[in-house]
Structure 1
Amino acid sequence: MSAVTISAGVPLAAERVVAHDARAMAVLIPGSGPIDRDGDAAKLPLGIQRQLADGLCERGVSSIRWDKRGVGESGGDFLSTGLHDLVDDALAVVDEAMSTGLPVVVIGHSEGTAIAARLLVERPAIAGAVLLSPYARTGLEVLRWQARSLVADVPAFVRGLLRLMRTDLESQTEKNRQRLLATTRDVERIGGVRVNARWFREFMAYDPRADLGAATQPVLALAAGHDLQSPPDDAEAIAAHRTAPTRVVRLDGLSHIMRSQEAPTLRTYRQDARRPIDERIVPLISAWIEQLVSR
């Protein structure tokens, strides 16, 4: 492992893991929120990017990952960071990865799949992309889909209370989304909480389908069958939208955070995060990269 400082709009603290006789360099792009290089949030240490880096290293794939703006050792302010800033940061990391001379593959999770879609168009020299829990619709439609999914995950007694109180969670969350769309500043207060309004506006407006359709690089899309945050069927929609080589794998019993579950729910995330990511993921990615770079 080696520490790297990458100059983007702000200095980004990154970490490179070098595999013996590496055949490719993976750029590991995390999901949404204040996530560090390992894939950890302050109250939810998921470790997705760290585990991907370690698993891929054992299979001859080097990697680079970084702390988001305003997180960990990176500069900048997370709350005022937009989705387009995150794309620019990822582009700087891709350029750093390309300086190694190895074929570069971008591996994005959740929000990171949308960033990966943009990177494929901005950097045609990227060899391919792996999309973990991807989506194929605008961010606004993703948030609406999440609201419908999460209402179903609310315990039955809570749903009963909400009905008695005549509270419609989908309607309430839609009001907040519309309030965010009407904002103009980077940071706004919604429900008394300071939120990254700029990121929400840019996220809700961006539809990755256009970039995925335009990109000519091969893509591996891994859908999580128990996903409540990215629509599992959207992986097939990505394949239908592209003419370039696209492989879709739906992993049954897999949650959005890349852990196995008996039934889809967010209520066990903290407990699930104590276990490693699903054992199927790294071998699938590694085999696909091996096939990609041996062409």
Structure 2
Amino acid sequence: MRNIHLSFSSGPANLAGTLVTDEQAGPGPAVLLLSGSGPIDRDSNSEQLSIGVMEQVAGHLALHGLASFRYDKRGVGESGGDFMSSGLHDNIDDAAAAIETLRARADVDPERIIVVGHSEGAVIATELAAADPGLAGVVLLAGTATLGADLLRWQAVQVSASQARPVRLLSRVLRRDVVRTQCKRLEQIEESTGDTARIHRVEMNVKWLREFMAHDPAPSLESIRVPVLALTGSKDIQVDPDDVRRIGQLVPADCSARIVDGLTHLLRTEAGPPSLRAYDEQAKRPVDAGLLATVTRWARQRATQASSETTS
């Protein structure tokens, strides 16, 4: 397998990424990899935290002969455009453009493209699958079936509960309620009108937040006609693990949906209670080997089945 620099245009931006491919004679399957929210590069890294999810997924796929493509978000890494003015719908458009770029390549079978999304990437993958029955399948890692605004409120409750006891006690003394504070922030975001706004002295991409809060993935999940693999960790405090069961109920196509015991939102296992405070340490460890094996095995099976369906 070799790494090729691949760029494509979407709207006003030219986006850059890495295509991992082999020297095969004919067109083969390819996996589009979509990372989580925020100013994230092709490897799922940001300035605040490097988690390397899609870099490791791409590496595992390559070990088993599967090509993949991952790219930097707008305004991140080698990609042009402006992250702070990019909304959820822009990110969906970018991913759709990436699929068309892959379909136009001679070394990619356009009917054997699989999408793997993590967190926001899973939201985007859901929309792609609903709109594009020509995909061979989608993998939703920490995907959601909940209205965005409700999910952000659920997150606030989980994060508050995961705080260390001294921090919780201090918050009570100072009369700071994390959940109430987050709800006030969400109200300010809903009332905003521009691309960015200063919320509690922090400049935020409120365009993306407004679009995410208004986004309900349920109708799209009900429209999917391609095979789905949905996996969420039991210790995820950013996405409700129970949503994976609802995904399984909503998707009318072949869908394998399950909760992975002990897995966090970063797709690492954690022995202790789930907490954002553990993310720095988790990020130093590799993505769970069992998860990587499951995703790769499913992608290989789907690529093989899609090939059979095409020739039959």
TM-score by length of 1: 0.97
CA contact (8 A) 1:23 1:60 kept: no
Q: Is residue 24–residue 60 contact of structure 1 (8 Å, CA) maintained in 2?
A: no
Q: Which residue of 2 aligns with 1:117?
A: 126
The answer as to whether partners of 1:187 and 1:195 remain within 8 angstroms in 2 is yes
Q: 2:18 aligns with which of 15, 36, 41?
A: 15
Partner of 1:268 in structure 2? 278
Letter in 2 for 1:101: D
Aligned match of 1:184: 193
Q: Deviations over 1:18-47 (max 9, x none)?
A: 146585211000000000011101121111
> 2:145 matched to 1:136?
yes
Match of 1:291?
Answer: 301
Query: Within 1, Cα distance between the matches of 2:206 and 2:60?
Result: 36
Counterpart of 2:310 in structure 1 is none
Could you list the per-position Cα deviations for residues 216-266 of structure 1 after superposition, in whole angstroms to 9, with x for gaps in the alignment? 001000111110101111001001112211101321111101111012121
Pair 1:97-2:99 in alignment: no
Q: 1:248 & 1:123 partners in 2: Cα distance?
A: 20
Gaps of 5+ in 2: 306-312
Q: Of the candidates 107, 112, 116, which is equivalent to residue 116 of structure 2?
A: 107
Distance (Å, rounded) in 2 between the aligned partners of 1:130 and 1:106? 6
**Which residue of 289, 292, 296 maps to 1:279?**
289
Distance in 2 separating the partners of 1:251 and 1:137: 19
The residue aligned with 2:4 is 2
Query: When the two structures are aligned, how many residues end up with a matched partner?
Result: 295
Aligned to 1:169: 178
Is the CA contact 2:44–2:50 (under 8 Å) kept in the aligned structure 1? Answer: yes
Cα–Cα, structure 1 residues 279 and 20, in superposed 2: closer, same or farther, change >3 Å? farther
Amino acid at match of 2:292: V
Please tell me the root mean square deviation across aligned C-alpha atoms, in Å.
1.3
Q: For the residues of structure 2 that align with 1:19 and 1:272, how far apart are their CA atoms?
A: 32
Selected match of 2:212 from 200, 203, 223: 203
Identity of matched residues, %: 39
Whether the 8 Å CA contact 1:110–1:134 is kept in 2: the answer is yes
